[in-house]
Amino acid sequence: MTVQQKMKTLTHFIKGEEVAGTSGRFSDVYNPTTGETIARVPLASKDEVQQAIQQAKEAFPAWKKMSIGKRVEVVHRFRQLLVTKQEELIEVICQESGKTKEDAKGEIIRGIESVDMAISAPQLLKGEYSVNVGGNINAFSAKSPLGVVATIAPFNFPVMVPLAITSMAVAVGNAVILKPSERVPHSALFLSQLWKEAGLPDGIWTVVNGDKEAVNELLENKEIQAISFVGSTPVAEYIYQTGTKHNKRVAAFGGGKNFMIVMPDANLEQTANAFLGAAYGAASQRCMAISGALVVGQDTEQRFTDILKQKISQLKIGPYTEDDVDFGPVISQQSKETIISYIDGAVTEGANLVIDGRNPKVCETSNGFYVGPTLLNNITPDMTIFKEEVFGPARIVVGVETLQEAIELINDHELGNGVTMFTSSGAAARKFQEEIEVGMVGVNVPIPIPVGYHNFGGWKRSKFGEGHMFGPDQARFFTKAKTISERWPDEMEDATSSFAFPSNNDAKS
């Protein structure tokens, strides 16, 4: 499947087939690079979602009974297809998200890490076994898939996040329903075709396109056993509260306000280079993007700001079709307007505009949704741009007097997704690691996102629920365990009744 230049009407993917929407409701899909409408995506009704769930439910028992080895063979073939069809997938990602080709390729590679983790499912599904816990009884545990599970993915990683929140769910034996962002539906449908080609049984992988009506049915339907979500904090909280209200297992990952602490002993040139990619890559549309720098010391703040100003002025934004572009547009005109409103508001509140990206030169020749790299300083913690996540290339520099002040500002923030620190001091790094109250921590690392075999998840209002994305915890999240006590008595053994609570005090050896 490839994305066509002309506008077309997309489908759902149900029971191994592309299925036209019947609700009569559609949403436009844009190419952010040009601003053009490239497709219409159907928005599923409650009835359509129910039908998709039923198809998944019917497919689940056979997939559950299939040996883990056979299931992993399918996952392994799917991985190979991701590699061989990578260039096609890069084009799909770029056209509907506006990412550069280099960034899209990096997203796919990180997504494959999650598939690799899913291939290790046989190891993660092993239970425990104890011999003769008492009275010739052996005790052991076994893990089983949950059934039909749902995942809701965001627009900013149309491939990596769906792979991260579905691969393990499929491998351990569940039937998975993916509700992708209606802004980037092509990528999910492309993945659907790869799963089918890999030999995944029909009904085990389902894509339902939709909006809140579809989401609410997934949250409320009694057949859905678990929900995994990635998106903004307000929606993550809604997903968690509604899903748990309906007795579902929920892992909901929200936004972040991720700061980089810059110490006076840091190499400022290296730190500034790290800041550029971490802050502005993918037009800053990453939940782990660096939102701003907390720079310790007035002199260090001034020097660091001067270096950033010079480097940012050399960044190039434009269409993904140009190889030397650093980043492209934001996802929509609405997003562009929201980002600009944050910049305007910060200036009104007293911030200083170091670099103004509100009207980049590329906008003179393109109707794409471009916002240039923007940098503000003279920021105080009571400003909106400090308190709220800005999902776009408006970044801030905040001066602080001490490392302790920086730690306290971060710990007082309601979001706790990721944080990093640049320093040459091991003592400072240790203090930082021990005292910071954030889920993912880096030292001299631009973006502290863990690799696919480590758990991903923030603290505070950046994550709701106890599940994780990536890592071995996913196998736990998408399975349930039973503990079995087993004894085979000798035929000659006396059969007597006991009314005491079972214990091994009087058990036969």
DSSP sequence for 140-171: EEEEEE-SEEEEE--SS-TTHHHHHHHHHHHH
pLDDT given for residue 4 in this prediction? 43
pLDDT given for residue 505 in this prediction? 62
Distance, CA of 342 to CA of 347 (rounded, Å): 9
- Asked if 230 and 154 touch (Cβ cutoff 8 Å), the reply is yes
Q: By three-state DSSP, how is residue 51 classified?
A: helix
Instruction: Name the residue with tokens 């001490």.
Output: 402
pLDDT given for residue 495 in this prediction? 66
Segments of the chain scoring below 70 in pLDDT? 1-6, 494-495, 503-509
pLDDT given for residue 3 in this prediction? 44
* pLDDT tens per residue, range 78-134: 999 999 999 999 999 999 999 999 999 999 999 999 999 999 999 999 888 889 888
DSSP state, residue 332 = -
Neighbours of 313 (CB within 10 A): 11
Nearest alpha-carbon partner for 327 in 368, 268, 382: 368
Whole-prediction pTM value?
Answer: 0.91
Distance, CA of 257 to CA of 268 (rounded, Å): 22
Q: Alpha-carbon Rg of the chain, whole angstroms?
A: 25
Per-residue tokens: 18: 């592309």
pLDDT given for residue 506 in this prediction? 52
pLDDT given for residue 6 in this prediction? 57
Catalytic, out of 43, 89, 239, 287: 287
Residue 363 annotated to the active site: no
Which DSSP string corresponds to 263-315? -TTS-HHHHHHHHHHHHHGGGG--TTSEEEEEEESHHHHHHHHHHHHHHHTT-
Q: What are phi and psi of 442, to 5 degrees?
A: -125, 150
Neighbours of 199 (CB within 10 A): 11
H-state helical runs in 137-251: 160-171, 185-198, 212-220, 233-245
